[in-house]
Amino acid sequence: MSPRRTLCLLVVLAVSAPPARAQQRDSIEALKHLTLDQLMNIDVMSVSLRPQRLFETPSAIQVITQDDIRASGATSLPEALRLASNLQVAQVDARQWAISARGFNGTTANKLLVLIDGRTVYTPLFSGVFWDVQDVLLSDVDRIEVISGPGATLWGANAVNGVINVITKDAKGTGGLLVTGGGGTELRGLGSARYGGGLGGHGNYRIYGKAFSRDPTLLSNGQAARDGWHMGQGGFRLDWEAPDSNRLSLHGDWYDGRIAQASPGHIAVSGGNVMAKWAHPFSARSDLTAQAYYDGTHRDIPGTFGEDLDIYDIDLQHRTAVGTRHDVVWGVGYRLINDRVVNTAALAFLPAHVARQWFTAFAQDEIALASDRLHVTLGTKIEHNDYTGFEIQPSGRVNWTFSPSRTLWAGISRAVRTPSRIDRELYAPGQPPYFLAGGPGFRSETELAYELGYRHQQGALVLAFASFYSRYHGLRSLEQVNPPNPTPIVIANGQDGESYGGEATASYHITDDWQVHAGYTELRVHIWPNPGSTDTSRGTAESHTPNRQLSLRSSLRLGAQWIVDGGFRYLAEIANQQLPAYAELDARLSWRPVAALELSVAGRNLLHEHHAEFGTPAARRDIERGVYGMAQWHY
């Protein structure tokens, strides 16, 4: 305990590294404060420090912009995530979503790191995300960065197959009063208000509140399921920018919701978080960022389980240029969770109450090898967790920008998914004799990923292609304790697997007012039992993923007042759920009679009266066509 404590005292520590582009923003902010004279005296590197241009990033990144979100008519974060074609997104029922990258999808998909303004939102309960409580005011979102493939070295734990990074606007960019209200079918009602303003010369703030109510989905017999729900959320953000370029940010959110369920009672969810961030630029070549947050969540599912979870997380990251060729980023982090589960007759987490901590350190060096054309990035993350001790996640990447409009990149990464509570501590039923008796020997799942990508920009046309092959060891399996007796079973690492495929996107500005986007992903996941394993599922519990998906979007501005947007998607069948392939269309018409007012009508899932996106035939819910109208007033 003592060295750990020493480390804690020494620094403010980190689990998840803030995104690299935050640093770019910091240095730009510093430059913007210079006078013309000062700007002309800035020493310009002939070698660009890091591949800050998205175009040159050596990984499969897609960015969802505020304009994309607005055009899509999305009213929730998962709906907005459909815009990234390198994600597999399926709506399970009215509130649950299965979201993953590069396969391994499920309602408890566990290989994705999801961050909202630097706050990790996957739960240590099962390493997945409760999407029903991850909400933001979508009009305050600046962008969502979606990286498919391992991002563990720089981004943090759990980034085995991808990272979703939701970034909201600085309070400086959200001044004035913004009121939104509307409703229709499926989205029965949605209302929000946000107000922002200045605080003295250097600070800005905003506060917001929102609430929505959503209709239930359909059971296979055509009757309404009991899964309708409503939720309210509010929050604030303060940003200060001192004259010396120090930047301080404080934000928080609170929410409370009720969700109907088939069994008696209502699911109750509530929670809140508060985060402080500090950025200190030493120079355009070096900066320090620190952040600390608290995140508390409460979930009560009557008859199944209840949970109170407190997370304390603290991060420090420093970036500095060393010489003319090296750009070094390193950081440390500490994370403490306090998880109290209320067990039921159906299942139990044992022990019910745990406190766990994580220590992380990472370092990455981006080396400019040949002018600003060729960069090699080497880095590793070292993590210590209470389940498996030390884990090392190194990666090596190279990007070669052989012309301003063409970039080739490649990467090899090792990533691990460390155990979560569900892997080690889940028992069923809630009392002995157990047919599922935890996973006392469960270790980390490991991945070795090879990636190759290419980006090409030709005027208004931007093309990106990424391909990958990943090999997994020790994937989760269910093993008979006394074969051939079918029970009891325990959770173990009895399966291996591989995945491979490609992700392609194309964006084209046909004119200034008309842009189109296409995304296509081809994907295969194979999982098999290792010698000695009694798990013959071949991964049907671990990955529910279509082999291919296609999305097409168009956004057309007609004059100064009208915008017509459309989004088509096709997803192949999910074979191991006998879920048929489906195609759907979303559309939106927006009218802005005056600058301050926007009226819109949006249709979602227009092609069919109802369709299913996920689940075995018995458990499946059908998602209905929805139409809603919305008015937004910005004063």
Partner 1 sequence: MALLKAAFTVLTSALLLVQSPRASEYQVKAVFLFNFAQFVEWPAVATPDSQLPVIIGILGEDPLGTFLDETVRGERLGLRPFEIRRYRALTDITACNILFISRSESERVGEILAALGKRPILTVSDGDDFAKRGGMIQFVNDKNRIRLRINLEAAQAANVTISSKLLRVAEIVRTPRP
Least gap, CB of 83 to partner 1 (angstroms): 18
DSSP class of residue 443? Answer: -
Query: Radius of gyration over alpha carbons of the chain, in Å?
Result: 24
Beta-bridged to residue 362, according to DSSP, are 331, 381
| Residue in 209, 208, 206, 128 with CA at minimum distance from that of residue 164 | 128
Q: Is residue 572 a contact point for partner 1 (CB under 8 A)?
A: no
Residues 263, 283, 578, 616: which binds partner 1 (CB under 8 A)? 283
Least gap, CB of 334 to partner 1 (angstroms): 11
DSSP class of residue 172? Answer: G
Window of 158-166, 412-420, 505-513, 602-610 that interacts with partner 1 by CB under 8 A:
505-513
> How many residues sit close enough to partner 1 to count as binding (CB under 8 A)?
65
Terminal Cα-to-Cα distance of the chain (whole angstroms): 55
Q: Whole-angstrom Cα distance, residue 602 to residue 180?
A: 14
Q: Is residue 404 a contact point for partner 1 (CB under 8 A)?
A: yes
Q: H/E/C letters for each residue in 251-283?
A: EEEEEEEEEECCCCCEEEEEEEEEEEEEEEEEE
Contact 306, 299 (CB under 8 A): yes
User: In the structure encoding, which two tokens stand for residue 104, read together?
Assistant: 């391994």
Q: H/E/C letters for each residue in 473-485?
A: EEEEEEEECCCCC
Count CB-CB contacts under 10 A for residue 626: 20
Residues 177, 460, 581, 607: which binds partner 1 (CB under 8 A)? 460
Place of tokens 């990144």: 61
Q: Which of residues 151-180 bind partner 1 (CB under 8 A)?
A: 169-170, 172-173
Contacts of 219 (CB under 8 A, 6+ apart): 225, 621, 622
Least gap, CB of 401 to partner 1 (angstroms): 10
Q: Is residue 21 a contact point for partner 1 (CB under 8 A)?
A: yes
Residues 405, 530, 534, 540: which binds partner 1 (CB under 8 A)? 405
Contact 545, 527 (CB under 8 A): no
Per DSSP, the three-state class of 421 is helix
Residues 82, 210, 277, 318: which binds partner 1 (CB under 8 A)? 318
Window of 5-13, 268-276, 429-437, 523-531 that interacts with partner 1 by CB under 8 A:
5-13
Q: H/E/C letters for each residue in 95-131?
A: CCEEEECCCCCCCCCCCEEEEECCEECCCCCCCCCCH
Q: Is residue 548 a contact point for partner 1 (CB under 8 A)?
A: no
Residues 4, 353, 524, 610: which binds partner 1 (CB under 8 A)? 4
Residues 363, 374, 398, 541: which binds partner 1 (CB under 8 A)? 363
C-alpha distances out from residue 523 to 91, 347, 501, Å: 19, 34, 4
Window of 153-161, 341-349, 359-367, 574-582 that interacts with partner 1 by CB under 8 A:
359-367
Interstrand relation of 445-458 and 461-480 (parallel, antiparallel or unpaired)? antiparallel
Window of 35-43, 422-430, 470-478, 625-633 that interacts with partner 1 by CB under 8 A:
35-43
Q: Is residue 595 a contact point for partner 1 (CB under 8 A)?
A: yes
Among residues 199 and 345, whose Cβ is nearest to partner 1?
199
Q: Is residue 456 a contact point for partner 1 (CB under 8 A)?
A: no
Q: Is residue 198 a contact point for partner 1 (CB under 8 A)?
A: no
Given its phi and psi angles, is residue 559 left (phi above 0), alpha (psi -120 to 50 degrees) or beta?
Answer: left
Within 131-285, strands assigned E span 141-148, 162-168, 176-184, 187-199, 203-214, 229-241, 247-260, 266-283
Contact 102, 499 (CB under 8 A): yes
Least gap, CB of 621 to partner 1 (angstroms): 39
Q: Is residue 434 a contact point for partner 1 (CB under 8 A)?
A: no
Interstrand relation of 162-168 and 112-116 (parallel, antiparallel or unpaired)? parallel
Q: Is residue 221 a contact point for partner 1 (CB under 8 A)?
A: no
Residues 222, 390, 484, 531: which binds partner 1 (CB under 8 A)? 390
Interstrand relation of 353-370 and 489-511 (parallel, antiparallel or unpaired)? unpaired
Least gap, CB of 592 to partner 1 (angstroms): 11
Q: Whole-angstrom Cα distance, residue 317 to residue 117?
A: 15
Window of 320-328, 549-557, 573-581, 622-630 that interacts with partner 1 by CB under 8 A:
320-328
Residues 14, 15, 17, 49: which binds partner 1 (CB under 8 A)? 49
Residues 14, 17, 55, 439: which binds partner 1 (CB under 8 A)? 55
Residues 340, 373, 509, 611: which binds partner 1 (CB under 8 A)? 509
Among residues 185 and 324, whose Cβ is nearest to partner 1?
324
Residues 188, 258, 340, 384: which binds partner 1 (CB under 8 A)? 384
Q: Is residue 52 a contact point for partner 1 (CB under 8 A)?
A: yes
Q: Is residue 517 a contact point for partner 1 (CB under 8 A)?
A: no
Window of 297-305, 434-442, 455-463, 568-576 that interacts with partner 1 by CB under 8 A:
455-463
State the residues that interact with partner 1 by CB under 8 A.
3-4, 6-7, 10-11, 21, 24-25, 27-28, 31-32, 34, 36-37, 39-46, 48-49, 52-56, 142, 169-170, 172-173, 282-286, 288, 318, 320-322, 328, 330, 332, 359, 361, 363, 382, 384, 390, 404-405, 457, 459-461, 509, 511-512, 595
